[in-house]
A = this chain, B = another copy of it.
Amino acid sequence: MGKLLIVGTVAIDEIETPFGKTGKVLGGAATFIGLAASQFDVESGIVSIVGDDLPDAYLETLKSKNIDLTGVEIVEGGKTFYWKGKYHNDLNSRDTLITDLNTLADFRPKVPEHFNDSDVVMLGNLHPSVQLSVIQQMKTRPKLIVLDTMNFWMDNALTELKEVIQHIDVITINDEEARQLTEEYSLVKAAEAIQKMGPKYVVIKKGEHGALLFHKEQIFFAPALPLEEVFDPTGAGDTFAGGFTGYLAATNDLSFENMKNAVIHGSNLASFCVERFGTERMENLRRHEVDKRLHEFKALTQFDIELK
């Protein structure tokens, strides 16, 4: 059993899709990462910050999945990061209606002592300086540091982003962001360029079109499972990251072959996340459902051509 440190937001979300509205619900990158990672045999802890307005039940949900919350600072009188968004009809794009950083604006992450020797660190989407400060607090170099980021930081903190990605092993990024970061249209070329910036492994997320893993000359691809209905895409990318890092921490095998499996596990879990609003599906996801869907992934992608 490996130790997984998760850094990211624990948030209050309000989501509207063509299928309905949620009202205020538990959200945030660290939340989705933690819920996904809890499907594996890992000792995981979250470093985050919230206000005391966050319902106790939300924290209890995470604790019930054996996620250590020692590193979640609760600011008395403070308000929790709040995000309200509305998805368009095709669910491929969304408008952010409200982003209130609240306590997140002054987030100085503190890694608890019993997690500064973590095997795997998953840095959820945050200001790159915040991500870097977590790396600097680790007592020993983690076996694997994975970082998620987004175009907002490319626009507003590119220098800091380029600094932090020199210190990581894997970056997860979506296709448009990979193009923006490298000014390369071809994802193959973009992944090559990103590897020169630091990370030896590049995961390019393509949403409903799956995810690509690049390492030197090697490429692996996992499709998104075709679903009858996508209900709410919120958290799918973080769920992927949580499955990816949770599996790697649990198996303690960082070979490229095992990273392929991690990509499949991440994609598999993300396929559940989008079936209900917010965290609902991930909170109630059962092991036998996960196992069953892995069979579907295998049937979807595996073939038997005799090669010459």
Residues of A within 8 A of B (CB): 89-90, 185-189, 206, 209-210, 212, 218-221, 223, 226-230, 257, 260-261, 263-265, 291, 294-295, 298-305, 307-308
Contacts and interface: CB of A to CB of B under 8 A. Distances in A.
Given A218-B299, A221-B223, A229-B186, A291 B307 contact: yes
Q: How many copies does the complex hold?
A: 2
A300 B219 contact: yes
Contacts of A226: 186-188, 212, 219, 221
A48 to B, nearest CB: 31
Interface centre among A227, A302, A305 (most CB of B within 10 A): A305
Given A186-B229, A206-B209, A212-B226, A301 B298 contact: no
Contacts of A186: 226-230
26 contacts: A89-B185, A186-B226, A186-B228, A186-B229, A188-B226, A209-B210, A210-B210, A210-B223, A212-B226, A219-B226, A219-B299, A220-B299, A221-B226, A221-B300, A223-B223, A257-B304, A260-B304, A261-B303, A261-B304, A263-B303, A264-B303, A264-B305, A294-B305, A295-B307, A298-B307, A302-B303
A188 B299 contact: no
A308 B287 CA distance: 10
